[in-house]
Amino acid sequence: MSALSKSIHPDEKYKAGTLGTSMSRAGFGLGAVLLIVSVVLGATAGDQWMRFFHAYLTAYTWVVSIALGGLFFVIIHHLTRARWSVVLRRVAECITDAFPVLFVLGLVIVVPVVLGYPNLYYWNHPDAHDAHLNHHLHGKLVWLNPGFFALRYAVYFLVWIGVSRYFARKSREQDETGNERLSEQMRIASGPAIIAYAMTLCFFAFDFLMSLAPKWYSTIYGVNFFGGSMIAIYAFLSVLGVGIQRSGRLTHSITTEHYHDTGKMLFAFTFFWAYTAFSQFMLYWYGNIPEETVWYNYRFFNDWQYVSLAVTLGQWAFPFLFLLSRWTKRIQPIFMFFCVWQLVFHYVDLYWNVMPNYHWTVQKAFNEGKDFVAGPLSGAVGANTIGLSPVDVLLPAALMLLFVGAIGRAMKGNLLPVKDPNLGASLAHENY
């Protein structure tokens, strides 16, 4: 056997066995309990469920971003004919199999919006539809309406589920038949798939996150959300890979060399995320137009300034500095620390995006003398406090557990694409 290729180690355990069942039971069981507790707390909060839904949206977009990162990992693997990532691809395919469960979890947001719940998205509030009070929104409400919002949601998940199922089905078919032509079919399909992926991811970010402050907009917002998704998937995939190995599986197939490469990608997208975040901020700071800078005013000049600093240092400066080192990515305990760190700060980043929109104000209409709900990013900047709630911690834990349960449900059969023509090269992969 050539030094550039290896066979699966004779002692390797690459069958999922009971691992998936254990993950599924633990994830769904514990996740359901925490979700029920969160619902009870949301019902008794006395704020018409506002805190619950804002916290749920933060946690939901967190786990969806990881699944979207997994889908990108699979598509780009085929598009570039990558070899090093073959041993991790089946695990990534299991991550993308969570999309049906994530679709159901997303209905917790979509159904109340369709039924007229007005306190999450301001564009769904009756006062937002008064053209005299909110002339900024008059044209946007053609796009931002409950029915169209739900339709787009269904289209996004239809695309993601369809694409992920296609690649997973072809990959497992190759396990059975050994047909090398299937690799070429997946490579060809990855071209249109990456275009559909880019469009749906960006519009999902616009709809679910950016539209929380509908008077504000950013054309790079979806790209920044993509950058965070990439940070999340390379961190999560690494942690999940180590977890699988701790169960006695894939101990010979996934090596330090593969973690080194996921670490390099984690480092690269940490910088990419910071680049897109700074690009958005710098242009608005330079233009100094009130309707553009308002989004930052409520994050830089009150309690949220400390979260802004934490995101800058925590998601970029600190990990960027240490992930520069080759050895940080090759010493497993240190690398796992940074993977968990980045997953946590990816959530903090989304929290920073969502939660300043939680505070709505009631104002007096100019020249009309009546009170109206002005929505988020209005009123005194100093009054927009953080106000931590138990659901801010319980909901991300609940949805992450349910997400892990969905991944476990997909872990059946082989955890390696055993007849992929590039598996031997991946097993022999080394960094120089």
Task: For 289-340, write each residue's pLDDT tens digit.
Answer: 988 999 999 999 888 999 999 999 999 999 999 999 999 999 999 999 999 9
Do residues 348 and 388 touch, judged by C-beta distance below 8 A? no
What pLDDT was estimated at residue 32?
A: 98
- Ramachandran area for residue 179 (φ above 0: left; ψ -120 to 50: alpha; else beta): beta
Q: Using one digit for the tens of pLDDT, what is the confidence trace for 75-124?
A: 999 999 999 999 999 999 999 999 999 999 999 999 999 999 999 999 99
Spans of all domains in the chain: 19-427
pLDDT (0 to 100) of residue 366: 64
Amino acid 368: pLDDT: 65
CA-CA-CA-CA torsion for 182, 183, 189, 191, nearest 10 degrees? -170
Stretch 370-391: mean pLDDT? 87
Q: 258, 373, 265, 261: which is closest to 319 by C-alpha? A: 265
Q: What does the alpha-carbon distance between residue 342 and residue 243 come to, in Å, rounded to a whole number?
A: 17
The reported pTM is: 0.96
Specify the higher pLDDT residue, 116 or 134: 116
Lowest mean pLDDT among 129-133, 156-160, 417-421: 129-133
Kindly tell me if the per-residue pLDDT of 2 is higher than 50: no
Judged against a pLDDT cut of 60, whether residue 49 lies above it is answered with yes
**Which pairing describes strands 361-364 and 371-375: parallel, antiparallel, or unpaired?**
antiparallel
- Residue 153, pLDDT above cutoff 90: yes
Q: Which amino acid is at 399?
A: L
**Residue 411: what are its φ and ψ, rounded to 5°?**
-80, 90
Which residue's entry shows tokens 């787009």?
Answer: 152
At residue 1 the predicted structure's pLDDT band, cuts being 50, 70 and 90, is very low
* Amino acid 14: pLDDT: 96
Task: Calculate the average pLDDT of the chain.
Answer: 94
| Structure confidence at residue 371 (pLDDT) | 83
The pLDDT of 150-173, averaged and rounded, is 98
